[in-house]
A and B are shown apart, each in its own frame.
Chain A
Amino acid sequence: DVKVTQSSRYLVKRTGEKVFLECVQDMDHENMFWYRQDPGLGLRLIYFSYDVKMKEKGDIPEGYSVSREKKERFSLILESASTNQTSMYLCASSPATRGPHGELFFGEGSRLTVL
């Protein structure tokens, strides 16, 4: 079974702190994604990556950056956390496909609270 592991289930940080959210997948997937989930808004795509050292902006990249140095690991970075970044963050992965977008495999989520 595919496993996507997010390093922290719950984090509490202070405004202005640098925050790292780590995600590791064990199925050699090429594609990795970071979403944030807020009540009433569903999931919104922050960044995604199709390959090592490659990244593309999603719908809401402002205030975030990402790093993909190894195929299995995709990190989300909040350079200076703000209270409006309090949210549930979900990492996902999928295998490369030539055609349309396939199934995503999600981690359990990281709930971040910024005070």
Chain B
Amino acid sequence: SQQGEEDPQALSIQEGENATMNCSYKTSINNLQWYRQNSGRGLVHLILIRSNEREKHSGRLRVTLDTSKKSSSLLITASRAADTASYFCATDGLYGNKLVFGAGTILRVKS
């Protein structure tokens, strides 16, 4: 069963614009993670936000978490063509013993 669901499914923007992707989940969590996947490759960890945190930054990435709404957003500022990839959120669920991934958002940044 999918815990996280990303929205939108696909996003196309111009280079320099900001990209926002959303993730909703169903059960209580300990933490939520975001991963990136370039076409045909493995996933790379971007950022982890704990359930007691509301916002976290890493370079051009900003992640927010609203546990009352069971949702998170990933903002990529000043996007670049190299940011073109699929982005996945993953949650550890109530018992924290495994990560469950959403279906992902496909981001295309046009130069």
Taking Cβ atoms with an 8 Å cutoff, the residues of A that contact B are 4, 33, 35, 40-45, 48, 58-59, 90, 92, 99-109, 111
Contact = CB atoms under 8 A, between A and B. Distances in A.
A75 B43 CA distance: 19
A48 to B, nearest CB: 6
A70 B42 CA distance: 23
Interface string B23-60: 00000001101010000111111001010000000000
Given A42-B102, A45-B98, A99-B30, A104 B1 contact: no
19 contacts: A35-B101, A40-B103, A41-B2, A42-B88, A42-B102, A43-B88, A44-B101, A45-B100, A90-B43, A100-B96, A101-B30, A101-B98, A103-B45, A104-B43, A104-B99, A105-B45, A106-B35, A106-B43, A109-B41
Interface of B: 1-2, 30-31, 33, 35, 40-45, 48, 50, 88, 90, 92, 96-104
A43 B1 contact: no
B42 A101 contact: no
A101 B103 contact: no
Given A99-B30, A106-B42, A41 B103 contact: yes
A106 B98 contact: no
A6 to B, nearest CB: 8
A111 B42 CA distance: 11
B45 A104 contact: yes
A103 B41 contact: no
A43 B96 contact: no
A79 B90 CA distance: 29
Given A4-B42, A58-B98, A108-B41, A101 B88 contact: no
Contacts of A44: 101
Contacts of B92: 100-101
Nearest to A48: B98
B101 A43 contact: yes
